[in-house]
Amino acid sequence: QVQLVESGGGLVQAGGSLRLSCAASGGTFSTMGWFRQAPGKEREFVAAIGWGGENTDYADSVKGRFTISRDNAKNTVSLQMNSLKPEETAVYLCACRSGGDFRGPYDYWGQGTQVTVSS
């Protein structure tokens, strides 16, 4: 049974930083990604990374501020978020899949971790 457990969310002031982590169990996956969903909005892609870590993809809105990384030995994926904005308040979800399409669809999802950015 595949499980994804996110951690690292919280409350941060605008311009601040947070680091999210996601621990996967029950399988290993070539593609791991992060999405976010704000209240009343659709879920949106944030970032994804391939198995070797060299290939990454970011939403235009986070390029240059967010960095995705993975540790295959620990089966984890992380998202370093800098210069956070209030409009990025959302539940951030980890996802994984086999295959190379970074934008989806994904096979497995975590429950999410809340990120709140205050102005």
| pLDDT (tens digit per residue) in 61-100 | 999 999 999 999 999 999 999 999 999 999 999 999 997 7
Strands 44-49 and 66-71 come out as: unpaired
pLDDT tens-digit map of 8-46: 999 999 999 999 999 999 999 999 999 999 999 999 999
Q: What is the pLDDT of residue 99?
A: 79
